Chains A and B, each alone.
Chain A
Amino acid sequence: MPVLSIRALRKSFTLHTIDGRTVASLHGVDLDVEEAEHVALAGPSGAGKSSLLRCVHRTYLPDSGSVRLGDTELTSLPDRAMARLRGREFGYVSQFLSAPPRTGPLDVVAASARRRGLDPSEARDAAADSLRRLNLDETLWDVDCSVLSGGERQRVNLAAGTVRPPRLLLLDEPVSALDPANREAALDLIEALREHGVAVLAVFHDLDAMRRLATRVVLMRDGLIADQGAPADLLETV
């Protein structure tokens, strides 16, 4: 059974503030992501890549269709259950860090690990390990996240999303702000998740990362899946 199974997923937005105009975003997407499979979404901007990620995460509420995480239908899951499921089974790494201000990186990452079932001391160890692998300078571990640079924040974000590996990891341009050295470390970390069976659905801003990480590339156009295949096959044609 796939970890993530998307069927006939549609999403549009009715903009009441602009004369009730409706803007369609996804026109019926079918997609499965298997355990340990890393799927990269590709396509021009506006093709619906981020919308798809957000519909899976339920930051967007799909109009129709189905999104299943294992056995669980997410589109109809009660809000509270969804909120809990997010903390335990999802990793969602966007370009932006949303951490409680005046909280240090170690605490942010440890909190994420605790939501996924580790006890406090295990969580701290896991968090430290994660931050170390991302080369975040240890002197920064306890400083307020709001003073970190964009690249540092992105690494905290990534650490929080990947610590104590979840079942499904959603990545929305997770390494866009990293310099080459740190970018390598981050990609290594993501790649290593495959050993834990983590299914990844990702949007990368560069082909290089896609080539490096994706086991499959899904090409989106106008809210539909246009094509999919192995990175080597598909990326050369883009």
Chain B
Amino acid sequence: MGYSGARGGLEAILAAEDLVRRARDHAAAPWAPTEQITARFRLAVDRVMGEAGLHHEDTSAAALRQAEGDPLEASHLVRAHRSRLPRLAVSEPVDPDEMVVLRRIVPAFREPDGPQLLGRTTDYTGRLLEQPSGPPAPAPKPDTEVRERTEEQRRPGRFLDLLRKLDLVVDHRRVDDPEPVDITRTPARPPAERSAALASMARAETGALVALWYRSILGPDGDIHEVTLGEVRHGRLPLRVRHPHTGNPVCVGRFRVTEAEAIEDLDGADEDRSRFDVGYGLCFGHNERKAIAMANLDVANRRFGRTGPLEQLLLLTTDGLDSGGFLEHLKLPHYVTFRSMVERKQAMRAAAEAAEGPRVAEPAGQECR
């Protein structure tokens, strides 16, 4: 009772909420404090930060706990939370060249400027399931001495700069400096600026973006091919806002991002075959799958977005809250619409019976020949 037309809806809702709260908050297990989640479920926290479009590890962790670990639900909680907050300021433009790298690889070059820095990754670790029976022993002292990094190691040169120096890249840089589209205030719909597409992808659900990337390669209507990765980075960037009184930019904190640059081999008839094109990906937290898919889709969108379905797919189908919400809404009662549908089916059948036999459309006063 309580689902549809019956009275007592509120009691049913409260009971459902109570069941969740009991099982989640009062389970027979130690409480998971926020720092526990940020420390042990770093990638889930980062993913929620990216998909929610809000960089705050503790908020993301709290959302994950409340959502019982469902990243999409957690993103929803964070975004709805953000809807309640006033917008106090808009940051100064962020220069990704200022990134202090925690990890940085350049697959396209053996010895790029600056280090190939693996950093914290399980890329090369065998995927063997560990089932420890208890907490691990205290951490041993690191084998290697921690050395102070040089400035070049902290902020290595960009691989793309090398390509530009060699005049190997199509130049899309524009002379004007348009405001980027704020997709939280102006809905991103085709035809859209590149900044709108990039912002949409940065907030997209990771799985949806990877699926769109893969579909565009393997699917029947896709026309992109996989790129060569120029560079993948994970690191910290400073965030500056203007002080409300002095008007000077002030650094108010640092945030982690993943950045990817995808090198595309142009092969279209009207494209410059003597140069490469580059796609760009950037998202909050450590989420390499997303940044790489984004970079590849960015360049694909420039090439094929308008001539095929890609731009619309990118802008309108990758947001997890949109797609998830639309799917979830199917669970709402639909008996009014269903009744209307049944009525038409019955009307069609009644008309067919009255006409005795299958209906033949009459061609307007003329005999069928």
Assess A/B contact in the complex (Cβ within 8 A). no
